[in-house]
Amino acid sequence: MSILVGSQTQAVVQGITGNEGRFHTKQMLDYGTKIVAGVTPGKGGQSVEGVPVFDTVSEAVSASGADASIVFVPPRFAADAVMEAAEAGVGLVVCLTEGIPAHDMIVARRYVDLLGVRLIGPNTPGVISPGRCKLGVMAGYIHREGPVGIVSRSGTLTYEVVHQLSAVGIGQSTCVGIGGDQIIGLSFPEILALFEDDGETEGIILIGEIGGSAEEEAAALIAERIAKPVVAFIAGQTAPPGRRMGHAGAIITGSAGTAGAKIAALREAGAAVADSPARIGALMAERLSA
């Protein structure tokens, strides 16, 4: 069944005529994703990889019936692109753009929430349901269909964990990169709830990092309503307080957002927390066989 995207998902690519949009449109099409339209203002009437290009998302949705959008738009215009997609009536927007001003994303996040549209990202590798649909930039060939859902703030660690799982014969139901910025769309608790309700997901891997309170909020939900086994890892355990480590959201303030606090909360909630990223796949294999 998977979550968020599947074999029936029909997507529009915003920024399809740019270098990244064009390249990844081909990759997604080659994977089997249904890319039914593209959007670049002023480029309507063209085509990319056989995909028709429109001037607006509204035109693209009306002509194609797209129900999802993936955004490859420069930071200056990306928040507007997200809101345009939401206004056009798609149910899911995946925004890969990095470096969007936080103020812009506050406005965009409020807008998509008001319209009831699900947003993944920004600053995300995207979402993939192996063998069914890829809306993102991840290497599709490392994934395989299976029972483990992955939700992560780190694209690189997601790829490592997928490799570990595939190496021991465990596939994935859906992998979701929630994004590394301070203002993002769907959060850990929201994705965890979707995995809990998904009939094909038997175990969940959560990859967090220092900064913010998302992992503690996830721990509260795990304790309250997640019955499936959860394996977690928190990156940035050696980061000094007050130092930003890569992602805009990965900053510790005082005692809030530390790796130790997150690990303690997750363990108290019943999750198995790996001490090393190299142990994540093995821990999930153990939990699934228990």
Q: Annotated active-site positions, please?
A: 247
Asked if residues 229 and 272 have their Cβ atoms less than 8 Å apart, the reply is yes
Round to the nearest angstrom and report the end-to-end CA distance of the chain: 24
Mapping DSSP onto H, E and C, the string for 222-252 reads HHHHCCCCEEEEEECCCCCCCCCCCCCCCCC
Gap between the Cα atoms of 166 and 206, Å rounded: 17
Asked if residues 18 and 75 have their Cβ atoms less than 8 Å apart, the reply is no
Asked if residues 59 and 3 have their Cβ atoms less than 8 Å apart, the reply is no
Name every residue whose Cβ is closer than 8 Å to that of residue 60 and which is 6 or more positions away in sequence: 12, 37, 38, 39, 54, 66, 88
Asked if residues 108 and 94 have their Cβ atoms less than 8 Å apart, the reply is no
